[in-house]
Amino acid sequence: MLIMGIESSCDETAVSISRDGREILSNCVVSQIDMHAVYGGVVPEIASRKHIEAIAALAERALSEAGIRRSELDAIAVTYAPGLIGALLVGVNFAKAAALALDIPIIPVHHIRGHIAANYIAFPELKPPFVCLSISGGNTLIIDVRDYTDTRILGSTRDDAAGECFDKIARVLGMPYPGGAALDKMSESGNPKAFPLPRSRVDGAPLDMSFSGLKTAALNIIHNHEQKGEELNIPDLCASFISAVQDTLVPRTMAAIGKTGYKTLAIAGGVAANSHIRAAFEAQCKKQGVTLYMPPLKLCGDNGAMIACQGYYEYLAGNLAGQELNAIASLPVERGSYQK
Ligand code: KG4
């Protein structure tokens, strides 16, 4: 079955063609990062306009790289939630128009389920159930993946997403947007114990997380140094910050593994590219006999292949849409299965 996967929930326009879910024939991405870098973050209005400019040509490129004709497509999968509403609408409306023209079904895909599915592409042997930690610029979630289309939240951040904190601290330190990768690189020579940053807990919800206090504490250190005219050891601060994020993510995720009784952990989302976080999970999983899956870096960020892959499983579950499909800015992953 040939599926076109479309992703436009934030600042990447992406189109991919897949066969039977896990075989990727093409995976084309146009990033808008340079446009938004000037403003230090994503400007929703610009994001929507750039998606409109890119999407039709990108779809043609995805077909040509896959070596197939439009008429061979069996369905169009598209991210319909969650994300920037104007950005999502571009992908959703393109998918609706293409599905109407080609007389094929539309498969609405929840963005987070797409990130989980990046692991199915990278690891053909991976099957639910497993625990997935999804860490990106917009969310931080520990998910019980009971089945391909049955996903329940075990723990989540109560405030900022981990990636959002990376980006904010990096921006204040003068690194280009999005700063996660630069902050990661900067931390290489730093001492993770140099700054005693907080590891917050949520009372009564041991698997939930909070990052806003950590972000504020790191920002206060930067501002205090500035005000006093003292030189700040930036690698030390970056390493200390990452260490605090790691100490928040790793024990909770491992506790979720204990709670479900599963022996498999998958990690998804842009922050999964972080070298320290990857190493910490590798070490902990080895110690506890848990099989760990981490997609390669190119599948960690937003892409169309993950949407096409998840789209295949949504199709098998019968989660299809017609021309009534609308985009939804905020939708919990539990309710990710599209219902007409
Ligand atoms: O999943 P993603 O591409 O987009 C969504 O948010 O959906 O994730 C982007 C996030 C950004 O916050 C970026 O700074 C972060 O992933 N990121 C990293 C690294 N590479 C990207 N954060 C920490 N360390 C990295 N190496």
C-beta of 160 in contact with ligand 1 (< 6 A): no
Atom in ligand 1 nearest the alpha carbon of residue 111: 7
Q: How far is the CA of 163 from the centre of ligand 1 (A)?
A: 5
What is the pLDDT tens value at each position of the chain, 340 positions in all?
999 999 999 999 999 999 999 999 999 999 998 899 888 889 999 999 999 999 999 999 999 999 999 999 999 999 999 999 999 999 999 999 999 999 999 999 999 999 999 999 999 999 999 999 999 888 999 999 999 999 999 999 999 999 999 999 999 999 988 899 999 999 999 999 999 999 999 999 999 999 999 999 999 999 999 999 999 999 999 999 999 999 999 999 999 999 999 999 999 988 988 999 999 999 999 999 999 999 998 898 899 999 999 999 999 999 999 999 999 999 999 999 998 8
Q: Which of 11, 88, 136 to mutate to test the pocket of ligand 1 (most atoms within 8 A of CB)?
A: 136
Under 8 Å CB-to-CB from 260, ≥6 apart: which residues? Answer: 129, 131, 144, 154
Q: Is any ligand 1 atom within 6 A of the Cβ of residue 301?
A: yes
Distance CA 90, CA 93 (A): 5
Instruction: Give the tokens for residue 299.
Output: 């599948």
Closest CA to 155 of 29, 39, 258: 258
Between CA 73 and CA 102 the distance in angstroms is 8
Ligand 1 atom with the shortest distance to the CA of 164: 12
pLDDT for 292: 98
Contact, 7 vs 307, CB < 8 A?
Answer: yes
Find out whether 199 and 193 touch, Cβ atoms under 8 Å.
no
How many Å lie between the centroid of ligand 1 and the Cα of residue 107? Answer: 26
The minimum-distance atom of ligand 1 relative to the CA of 115 is 1
Residue 142 is predicted with a pLDDT of 98
The residue whose CA has the least distance to atom 3 of ligand 1 is 301
Give the pLDDT of residue 3: 98
> From the CB of 274, is ligand 1 less than 6 Å away?
yes
Which candidate, 50, 32, 253, places its Cα nearest to that of 153? 253
End-to-end CA distance of the chain: 23
CB of 166 sitting under 6 A from ligand 1: yes
151 forms beta bridges with: 145
| Residue 270 Cβ contacting ligand 1 at under 6 Å | yes
Residue 177, ligand 1, Cβ within 6 A: no
Decide if 135 contacts 267 (C-beta within 8 A): yes
Q: How far is the CA of 97 from the centre of ligand 1 (A)?
A: 31
Dist. CA 162 → ligand 1 center (Å): 9
Q: Is 114 in the pocket of ligand 1 (CB under 6 A)?
A: no
Return the closest-CA partner of residue 178 out of 197, 159, 165: 165
Q: Assess contact for 167 and 178: CB atoms under 8 A.
A: yes
pLDDT of residue 308: 98
Cα-based distances in Å from 69 to 26, 53, 59: 13, 22, 11
Does residue 167 have its Cβ closer than 6 Å to ligand 1? yes
The pLDDT value recorded for residue 61 is 98
- For residue 276, the CA-to-ligand 1 centroid distance in Å is 14
- Is the CB of residue 120 below 6 angstroms from any atom belonging to ligand 1? no
Q: 302 CB under 6 A from ligand 1?
A: yes
Q: Nearest Cα to 87, choosing from 70, 119, 111, 103?
A: 111
Question: Does a cis peptide bond (omega within 30 degrees of 0) precede residue 129?
Answer: yes
| Residue ranges in the chain assigned as alpha helix (H) | 33-37, 44-66, 85-102, 111-122, 162-172, 180-186, 212-228, 234-260, 275-288, 297-300, 304-316
Cβ–Cβ < 8 Å for 209, 202: yes
